[in-house]
């Protein structure tokens, strides 16, 4: 599991059983990256994609310059039906809102908090290929993304002060075996590689 920062399913954090649905979660995160052309967590350099002043709509990710947790932004745009705002700018004019909606709906289904609610990869492929209609994401199983998004926002605010965030993101971890690292190296993960695979 080393090197898989930002793609760990919630069951890794709760010591729950690991199954093939854990890989489905990671695929959902990768699919969101493919759609958007960006990592699932990155520094925001522009605000127009997160703040629609014309309509007065504001997402919770539209704070001051800092880290943006893209899965949360995707969830918010799904709730508002603003799918084209999630598309990679390089695809402008070459992709429809319907296509982006399909990909985002499938991705959000893949990252349901409860493994039993995630589709199988067979179903994922069928939905992506248009053989079956995309399943509607279960919003109650995606609320954990809002918590994760707040954590990233807090980490971003601490970065300017040069603070370490291990204690905040992993409050119950045994830090005696964990190497301290700065925000710039840690914000892609919710759990340290040492916790998963032991000391290097």
Higher pLDDT, 156 or 21: 21
Higher pLDDT, 139 or 179: 139
Q: Which helix (H) or strand (E) holds 57?
A: strand 57-58
Higher pLDDT, 128 or 70: 128
Question: Phi and psi for 107 in degrees, rounded to 5?
Answer: -60, -45
User: Looking at the predicted structure, is the pLDDT value of residue 132 above 90?
Assistant: yes
Q: What domains lie within the chain, and their CATH numbers?
A: 10-145 (1.10.510.10)
User: Looking at the predicted structure, is the pLDDT value of residue 172 above 80?
Assistant: no
pLDDT of residue 4: 55
In the predicted model, what is the mean pLDDT of residues 142-170?
Answer: 64
pLDDT of residue 196: 41
DSSP state of 133: P
With CA atoms as reference, report the closest residue to 35 among 120, 105, 115.
105
> Which tens digits make up the pLDDT trace of 85-114?
999 999 877 889 999 999 999 999 999 999
Question: DSSP assignment of 71-117, as one string?
Answer: HHHHHHHHHHT-GGGGS-GGGTTSS-HHHHHHHHHHHHHHT-SSGGG
- For 119-128, 130-139, 156-165, which range has the lowest pLDDT when averaged over its residues? 156-165
């Amino acid at each position: 599991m080393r090197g898989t920062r930002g793609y760990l399913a919630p069951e890794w954090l709760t010591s729950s059983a690991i199954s093939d649905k854990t890989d489905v979660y990671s695929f959902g995160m990768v699919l969101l990256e493919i759609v958007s052309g960006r990592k699932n967590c990155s520094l925001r350099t522009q605000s127009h994609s997160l703040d629609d002043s014309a309509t007065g709509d504001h997402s919770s990710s539209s704070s001051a310059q800092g880290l943006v947790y893209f899965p949360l932004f995707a969830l918010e745009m799904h709730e508002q039906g603003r799918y084209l705002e999630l598309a990679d700018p390089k695809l402008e004019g070459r992709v429809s809102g319907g296509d982006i909606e399909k990909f985002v709906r499938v991705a959000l289904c893949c990252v349901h908090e409860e493994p039993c609610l995630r589709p199988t990869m067979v179903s994922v492929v069928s939905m992506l290929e248009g053989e079956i209609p995309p399943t509607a994401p279960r919003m109650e199983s995606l609320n954990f993304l809002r918590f994760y998004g707040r954590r990233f926002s807090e980490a971003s605010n601490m970065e300017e002060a040069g603070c370490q965030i291990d204690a905040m993101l992993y409050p119950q971890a045994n830090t005696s075996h964990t190497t301290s690292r700065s925000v710039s190296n840690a914000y892609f993960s919710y759990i340290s590689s040492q916790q998963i695979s032991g000391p290097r």
